[in-house]
Amino acid sequence: MNGRTSAFQGAVSLNASMFVAVLLASRASSSLEVALLMGAAVQVFALGPRVYRRVKLVSEAAHACAATALVASALALTLHINQLLGAAFALVVLYISLVFPLTFVYIQRYKNRINGPWDEAVPTRRALRDYPA
Protein backbone atom coordinates (compact mmCIF):
# COMPACT_ATOMS: atom_id res chain seq x y z
CA MET A 1 0.00 0.00 0.00
CA ASN A 2 1.34 3.40 -0.95
CA GLY A 3 1.54 5.88 1.94
CA ARG A 4 0.84 8.82 -0.36
CA THR A 5 -2.19 7.77 -2.41
CA SER A 6 -4.01 5.02 -0.54
CA ALA A 7 -6.43 5.65 2.28
CA PHE A 8 -5.52 4.29 5.69
CA GLN A 9 -6.79 0.71 5.92
CA GLY A 10 -5.69 -0.42 9.36
CA ALA A 11 -8.78 -2.28 10.57
CA VAL A 12 -7.11 -5.62 11.24
CA SER A 13 -4.06 -4.17 12.97
CA LEU A 14 -6.26 -1.81 14.98
CA ASN A 15 -8.47 -4.66 16.14
CA ALA A 16 -5.46 -6.79 17.06
CA SER A 17 -3.76 -3.99 18.98
CA MET A 18 -6.92 -3.08 20.89
CA PHE A 19 -7.46 -6.75 21.71
CA VAL A 20 -3.95 -6.95 23.17
CA ALA A 21 -4.57 -3.73 25.11
CA VAL A 22 -7.75 -5.22 26.60
CA LEU A 23 -5.86 -8.38 27.56
CA LEU A 24 -3.17 -6.30 29.26
CA ALA A 25 -5.78 -4.12 30.94
CA SER A 26 -7.44 -7.21 32.40
CA ARG A 27 -4.25 -7.78 34.41
CA ALA A 28 -4.32 -4.27 35.92
CA SER A 29 -5.11 -3.90 39.61
CA SER A 30 -7.25 -0.74 39.56
CA SER A 31 -9.78 0.99 37.36
CA LEU A 32 -7.47 3.98 36.95
CA GLU A 33 -4.72 1.78 35.49
CA VAL A 34 -7.22 0.22 33.07
CA ALA A 35 -8.45 3.65 31.96
CA LEU A 36 -4.89 4.93 31.48
CA LEU A 37 -3.82 1.86 29.52
CA MET A 38 -6.88 1.93 27.26
CA GLY A 39 -6.54 5.68 26.70
CA ALA A 40 -2.89 5.26 25.75
CA ALA A 41 -3.78 2.35 23.45
CA VAL A 42 -6.41 4.43 21.65
CA GLN A 43 -3.96 7.31 21.22
CA VAL A 44 -1.11 5.13 19.96
CA PHE A 45 -2.97 2.59 17.84
CA ALA A 46 -6.10 4.41 16.63
CA LEU A 47 -5.10 8.06 16.37
CA GLY A 48 -1.33 7.76 15.93
CA PRO A 49 -1.20 6.18 12.45
CA ARG A 50 -3.47 8.88 11.01
CA VAL A 51 -1.28 11.61 12.47
CA TYR A 52 1.92 9.93 11.24
CA ARG A 53 0.44 9.56 7.75
CA ARG A 54 -0.59 13.21 7.67
CA VAL A 55 2.90 14.25 8.78
CA LYS A 56 4.42 12.12 6.00
CA LEU A 57 2.13 13.71 3.40
CA VAL A 58 3.11 17.21 4.55
CA SER A 59 6.88 16.76 4.92
CA GLU A 60 9.29 13.87 4.53
CA ALA A 61 11.79 15.62 6.81
CA ALA A 62 9.20 16.03 9.56
CA HIS A 63 8.28 12.37 9.17
CA ALA A 64 11.93 11.33 9.52
CA CYS A 65 12.28 13.52 12.62
CA ALA A 66 9.11 12.09 14.15
CA ALA A 67 10.24 8.51 13.47
CA THR A 68 13.66 9.23 14.95
CA ALA A 69 12.06 10.79 18.03
CA LEU A 70 9.81 7.75 18.50
CA VAL A 71 12.71 5.32 18.21
CA ALA A 72 14.84 7.42 20.56
CA SER A 73 12.08 7.58 23.18
CA ALA A 74 11.46 3.83 22.89
CA LEU A 75 15.19 3.22 23.27
CA ALA A 76 15.40 5.50 26.31
CA LEU A 77 12.45 3.78 27.98
CA THR A 78 13.82 0.33 27.16
CA LEU A 79 17.25 1.25 28.52
CA HIS A 80 15.55 2.47 31.70
CA ILE A 81 13.90 -0.92 32.16
CA ASN A 82 16.84 -3.15 31.24
CA GLN A 83 20.18 -2.16 29.69
CA LEU A 84 20.71 -5.48 27.93
CA LEU A 85 17.25 -5.30 26.38
CA GLY A 86 17.92 -1.70 25.34
CA ALA A 87 21.19 -2.66 23.68
CA ALA A 88 19.43 -5.49 21.83
CA PHE A 89 16.71 -3.07 20.71
CA ALA A 90 19.33 -0.58 19.50
CA LEU A 91 21.12 -3.30 17.52
CA VAL A 92 17.89 -4.51 15.92
CA VAL A 93 16.94 -0.96 14.90
CA LEU A 94 20.45 -0.34 13.56
CA TYR A 95 20.44 -3.53 11.51
CA ILE A 96 16.92 -3.05 10.13
CA SER A 97 17.37 0.59 9.23
CA LEU A 98 21.00 0.66 8.04
CA VAL A 99 22.86 -2.63 7.70
CA PHE A 100 20.23 -4.67 5.85
CA PRO A 101 19.39 -2.00 3.22
CA LEU A 102 23.08 -1.25 2.58
CA THR A 103 23.79 -4.97 2.24
CA PHE A 104 20.90 -5.31 -0.20
CA VAL A 105 22.26 -2.45 -2.31
CA TYR A 106 25.76 -3.95 -2.19
CA ILE A 107 24.72 -7.43 -3.35
CA GLN A 108 22.78 -6.06 -6.34
CA ARG A 109 26.04 -5.99 -8.31
CA TYR A 110 26.18 -9.79 -8.12
CA LYS A 111 22.64 -10.29 -9.39
CA ASN A 112 22.30 -12.55 -12.43
CA ARG A 113 19.41 -12.26 -14.84
CA ILE A 114 18.26 -15.63 -16.09
CA ASN A 115 15.99 -15.74 -19.13
CA GLY A 116 13.93 -18.78 -19.92
CA PRO A 117 10.61 -20.07 -21.21
CA TRP A 118 8.88 -18.84 -18.04
CA ASP A 119 9.41 -15.18 -19.04
CA GLU A 120 6.71 -13.17 -20.70
CA ALA A 121 6.81 -13.07 -24.49
CA VAL A 122 8.44 -10.00 -25.99
CA PRO A 123 6.78 -8.96 -29.27
CA THR A 124 9.13 -8.17 -32.15
CA ARG A 125 8.40 -6.50 -35.48
CA ARG A 126 9.01 -8.59 -38.51
CA ALA A 127 9.43 -7.31 -42.02
CA LEU A 128 6.53 -7.84 -44.43
CA ARG A 129 8.75 -10.04 -46.64
CA ASP A 130 9.07 -12.57 -43.76
CA TYR A 131 5.37 -13.51 -43.94
CA PRO A 132 4.36 -16.28 -46.35
CA ALA A 133 2.10 -15.18 -49.22
- Tell me: the pLDDT tens digits for 55-76? 999 999 999 999 999 999 999 9
Residue 126 falls within a domain, yes or no? no
- Give pLDDT, residue 75: 96
Count other Cβ atoms within 10 Å, centred on residue 118: 6
Q: pTM to 2 decimals?
A: 0.60
Residue 118 falls within a domain, yes or no? no
The domain containing residue 41 runs over which residues?
10-58
Residue 29 falls within a domain, yes or no? yes
Alpha-carbon span 89 to 71, nearest angstrom: 10
Residue 133 falls within a domain, yes or no? no
Widest CA span in the chain: 90
DSSP 7: P
Number of domains observed in the structure of the chain: 2
Mean pLDDT of 10-31: 88
Residue 51 falls within a domain, yes or no? yes
Q: Are residues 76 and 101 in the same domain?
A: yes
In the Cβ-directed half-sphere of 15, how many Cα atoms lie within 13 Å?
3
Residue 122 falls within a domain, yes or no? no
Q: Are residues 77 and 97 in the same domain?
A: yes
Confidence of residue 131 (pLDDT cuts 50, 70, 90): low
Residue 102 falls within a domain, yes or no? yes
Residue 4 falls within a domain, yes or no? no
